[in-house]
């Protein structure tokens, strides 16, 4: 039994993969090996290694959520009745379909004014309500304890107490509804797994007989229930390798318990610490030490190598900063022959304007670039809005037509070569400013305007238009995912159309198709006589700000040779080092800052947080400071050569920027000069 710890980049996962290979080469059955990871993306290195290994089929690389679902699917008839559910096969809810069902109960609470004291959009109320349910499940809290914890930690106006009580009433109604209709969201799956699957003698014996070897990677990112499961399985194991990433724990907002994970070392016979980085240059190692000194207020002699680890420039205005970033990236790729995949652009939050400005500039320079924003509602993606707009226009049961601006966006996204100006002109002519049930023909347009729009774009528009008209007759006969799949395959991905070579947009389209499929199979497993209302319900749900469920393709873009732009935490959870990092908007207050979530609280809803202890401003400041330290060190440990700091004196909104990340680097520079 072995506990392996060390900073990122010291070869821990590589060691674990070697250990896995030795188990297989020594004749251990693949089915007897469990690789437990906190997030599916962190299991990717194991899956790639197993693909190269003969006779490796059967090794389980799963999260605790995946293991719970698999167990429930297999043993449902044995535990359904004692859990109070029908014996018939249950419906497993995704994030999306859980939000759909929760919405009806949130709407009732909103209509009766019980959420009036918090100014939160409906979609966020739904998401935070479900997040509390998940926190309850992974910590083994009752619903009443969640309410008690949130109420006890709140120091503001007493009206918030009613909000927490409303949350509890709402989720109790949701749980009763799920039980009645045999629906299992994530929180219910976890509770049934821990309370029934693991406590059933027959099932427990089977699981313990199945898994004799455990590899648990990134345990610092795992939740309490996963750590409990390791304890539960431990006595029956023949071997175990636990891997802990020092100074990590980035998923605290999702329930990670790094301190509890570290305590698992007491179970192990061997404790090994890896300290030598296989990634960082000496300069970056010195920068890491300088960052640590800045956070601990320990003035130590700085190495002259520190400033070799990063380069920076101050700009007066935000657009100037973005232009500088693009110039440096172009220089690296075109003049220094750096592979695009060795460059990552990191921001605290990746908003639309920042993403568009950088991606547009680099794409125009011929440099491939991809992005990923997992917490972003899929409706915010232009290509998703385009597909949903056409879905709305085609469907005769929709109560209204899409706005002209949405139709112009759809034409721009789907017709290659149609810029925003000509898309707007074409829309005004064929669709009108108020929207029309029919799209006019390009052949009927004035020749002068045809020439301005171009005949090539006109021909592509006619092809799209005729396809949409033909699809109208089938709306009631096919599910929404069939329509989206056909639109993608028959039109959008073909030569001359928007998704032919657009990897980012193609991934979003695939995500939307999978989302519609999950929606249909969860809510209408037996089908329906008329699919048109289902189209409308799905489109409305996504348009309200639905967060798309996990989509593997969006997390596997690192295999593409392209510059990668993403929020900081998204990049960290890919666990892939690069040669060059660009930290954007370094002066922003958003680095290390927790988003305000009035219905939930990631620190209060932890096992080690004392009941009835008020969460203070000092607590918030300290947690943000600790988060910033982990973030900075995690990024530095995943860089091989150099970090570029992009700083604007005035932020995107025109205000001065003096955020904590900038303050840390000012300390480092002052200490270096001293």
Confidence label for 438 from pLDDT (cuts 50, 70 and 90): confident
Residue-wise pLDDT tens digits, 327-377? 999 999 999 999 999 999 999 888 878 888 999 999 999 999 988 776 667
Q: What is the pLDDT of residue 646?
A: 94
Three-state SS annotation for 15-56: HHHHHHHHHHHCCCCHHHEEEECCCHHHHHHHHHHHHCCCCC
Report the mean per-residue pLDDT for the chain. Answer: 91
pLDDT at 435 over 80: no
pLDDT by residue (tens digit) across 230-277? 999 999 999 999 999 999 999 898 899 999 999 999 999 999 999 999
CA-based angle 427:429:433, to the nearest 5?
65
**What digits encode the pLDDT tens for the residues 34-77?**
999 999 889 999 999 999 888 889 999 999 999 999 999 999 99
Tens digits of per-residue pLDDT, 546-558?
655 555 555 555 5
Cβ count near 421 (within 10 Å): 12
- For tokens 């202890």, the residue is 613
CATH superfamily of 2-69+192-273: P-loop containing nucleotide triphosphate hydrolases (3.40.50.300)
Q: Averaged over 109-128, what is the pLDDT?
A: 90
Q: What is the pLDDT of residue 22?
A: 95
**Which CATH code is given to the segment(s) 284-376+556-673?**
3.40.50.300
Q: What is the pLDDT of residue 540?
A: 87
> Mean pLDDT across the stretch 401-410?
93
pLDDT of 173-206, one tens digit each?
999 999 999 999 999 999 999 999 999 999 999 9
pLDDT in tens, 129-158: 999 999 999 999 999 999 999 999 999 888
d(CA 121, CA 80): 36
> Using 50, 70 and 90 to split pLDDT, how confident is the model at 436?
confident
Q: How large is the average pLDDT for residues 17-29?
A: 95
Residue by residue, DSSP assigns 621-652 as HHHHHHHHHHHHHHHHTTEEEEEEEEEESB-T
> Into which CATH architecture does domain 91-181 fall?
Orthogonal Bundle (1.10)
Q: Give start and end residues of each alpha helix (H) in 213-340.
A: 224-233, 258-262, 282-296, 318-330
The answer to whether the pTM exceeds 0.95 is no
């Amino acid at each position: 039994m072995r506990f392996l710890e060390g900073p990122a980049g010291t070869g821990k996962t590589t060691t674990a993969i070697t250990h896995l290979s030795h188990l297989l080469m020594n004749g251990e059955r693949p089915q007897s090996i469990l690789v437990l990871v906190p997030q599916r993306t962190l299991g990717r290195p194991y899956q790639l290694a197993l693909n190269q290994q003969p006779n490796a089929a059967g090794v389980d690389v799963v999260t605790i959520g995946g293991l719970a679902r698999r167990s429930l699917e297999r043993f449902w008839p044995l535990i359904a009745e004692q859990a109070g559910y029908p014996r018939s096969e249950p419906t497993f809810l995704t994030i999306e379909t859980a939000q759909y069902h929760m919405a009806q109960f949130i709407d009732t609470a909103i209509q009766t004014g019980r959420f009036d004291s918090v100014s939160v959009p409906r979609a966020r109320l739904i998401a935070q309500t479900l997040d509390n349910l998940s926190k309850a499940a992974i910590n083994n809290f009752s619903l009443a304890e969640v309410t008690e914890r949130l109420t006890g930690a709140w120091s503001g106006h007493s009206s918030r107490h009613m909000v927490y009580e409303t949350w509890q009433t709402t989720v109790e109604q949701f749980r009763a509804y799920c039980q009645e209709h045999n629906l299992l969201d994530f929180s219910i799956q976890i509770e049934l797994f821990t309370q029934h699957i693991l406590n059933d003698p027959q099932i427990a014996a089977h699981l313990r007989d199945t898994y004799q070897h455990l590899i648990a990677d990134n345990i610092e990112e795992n939740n309490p229930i996963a750590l409990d499961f390791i304890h539960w399985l431990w006595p029956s194991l023949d071997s175990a390798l636990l891997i802990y990433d020092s100074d990590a724990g980035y998923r605290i907002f999702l329930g990670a318990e790094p301190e509890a994970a570290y305590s698992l070392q007491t179970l192990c016979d061997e404790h090994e610490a890896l300290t030598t980085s296989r990634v960082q240059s000496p300069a970056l190692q010195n920068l890491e030490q300088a960052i640590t000194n800045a956070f601990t207020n320990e003035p130590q002699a700085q190495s002259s190598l520190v400033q070799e680890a990063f380069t920076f420039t101050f700009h007066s205005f935000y657009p100037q900063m973005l232009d500088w970033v693009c110039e440096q990236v172009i220089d690296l790729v075109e003049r220094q022959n750096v592979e695009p995949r060795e460059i990552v652009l990191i921001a605290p939050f990746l908003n639309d304007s920042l993403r568009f400005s950088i991606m547009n500039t680099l794409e125009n320079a011929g440099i491939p670039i991809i992005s990923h924003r997992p917490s972003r509602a899929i409706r915010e993606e232009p290509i998703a809005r385009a597909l949903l707009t056409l879905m709305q226009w085609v469907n005769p049961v929709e109560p209204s037509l899409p706005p002209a601006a949405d139709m112009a966006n759809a034409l721009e996204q789907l017709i290659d070569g149609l810029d925003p100006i000509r898309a707007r002109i074409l829309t005004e002519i064929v669709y009108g400013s108020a929207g029309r049930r029919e799209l006019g023909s390009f052949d009927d347009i004035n020749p002068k305007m045809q020439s301005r729009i171009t005949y090539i774009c006109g021909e592509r528009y006619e092809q799209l238009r005729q396809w949409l008209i033909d699809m109208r007759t089938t709306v009631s006969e096919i599910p929404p995912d069939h329509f989206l799949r056909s639109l993608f395959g028959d039109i959008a991905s073909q030569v001359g159309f928007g998704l032919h070579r657009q990897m980012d947009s193609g991934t979003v389209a695939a995500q939307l198709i999978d989302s519609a499929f999950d929606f249909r199979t969860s809510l209408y497993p037996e089908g329906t006589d008329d699919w048109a209302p289902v189209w409308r319900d799905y489109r409305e749900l996504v348009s309200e700000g639905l967060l798309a469920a996990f989509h593997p393709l969006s997390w596997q873009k690192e295999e593409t040779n392209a510059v990668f732009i993403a929020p900081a935490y998204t990049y960290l959870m890919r666990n892939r080092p690069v040669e060059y990092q660009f930290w954007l908007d370094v002066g922003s207050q958003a680095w290390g800052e927790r988003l305000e979530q009035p219905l939930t609280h990631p620190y209060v809803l932890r096992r080690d947080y004392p009941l009835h202890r008020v969460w203070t401003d000092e607590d918030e400041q300290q947690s943000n400071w600790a988060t910033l330290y982990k973030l900075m060190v995690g990024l530095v440990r995943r860089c091989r050569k150099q970090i570029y700091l992009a700083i604007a004196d005035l932020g995107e909104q025109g205000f001065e920027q003096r955020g904590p990340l900038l303050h840390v680097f000012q300390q480092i520079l002052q200490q270096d000069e001293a």
